[in-house]
Amino acid sequence: MYTHAIKYRVCYADTDKMGYVYYGNYARLYEIARVETLRSLGVSYKVLEDNGIGLPVFEHYSKFHASGLYDDVLTVICHVNRLPSAKIEFSYEIKNEDLLLINEGKTTLVFMDMAKKKVIKSPEWIINALKPYFN
């Protein structure tokens, strides 16, 4: 398993009228953590896109345990649980400053040849970047 964490301070625009993090923004936090997790491995979305490869979301799951609030500093922990094939799966834990789990989720993305609009295998260089973390 490969794990990477980011910190994120909840801004006013992230919240609803009640001051809670709006539920749709958790998907955005997943994306931020996912992009930074791949970047920490030397994998860039921009390089993928420049090579005609997209990573559209195929599945998304989110479970809420408590509320994120305005000005909270959240820790978003992102896990890659297995080596990618034609898809790559991420799981997430979002904790507040008291380390209380407020949200958990999963996303599955597929590697896509953008010109042909067809699912393809993960590029070998991404698999090689992750291999040291899986035995």
Number of structural domains the chain divides into: 1
pTM above 0.85, yes or no: yes
Give the C-alpha separation, 75 to 9, whole Å. Answer: 9
Give the C-alpha separation, 61 to 105, whole Å. Answer: 5
Per-residue confidence band for 135, with pLDDT thresholds at 50, 70 and 90:
confident
Segments forming the whole domain that contains residue 36: 2-133
> Residues near 89 by Cβ (< 8 Å), separated by ≥ 6?
80, 81, 82, 106, 107, 108, 109
Residue 51 in this model has a pLDDT that exceeds 90: yes
pLDDT digits (tens, 9 = 90+) for 60-114: 999 999 999 999 999 999 999 999 999 999 999 999 999 999 999 999 999 999 9
Per-residue confidence band for 23, with pLDDT thresholds at 50, 70 and 90:
very high
> Residues near 69 by Cβ (< 8 Å), separated by ≥ 6?
10, 15, 19, 20, 21, 96
Please report the pLDDT score of residue 80 as a whole number. Answer: 98
Domain harbouring 45, CATH code: 3.10.129.10
3-state DSSP assignment of residue 56: coil
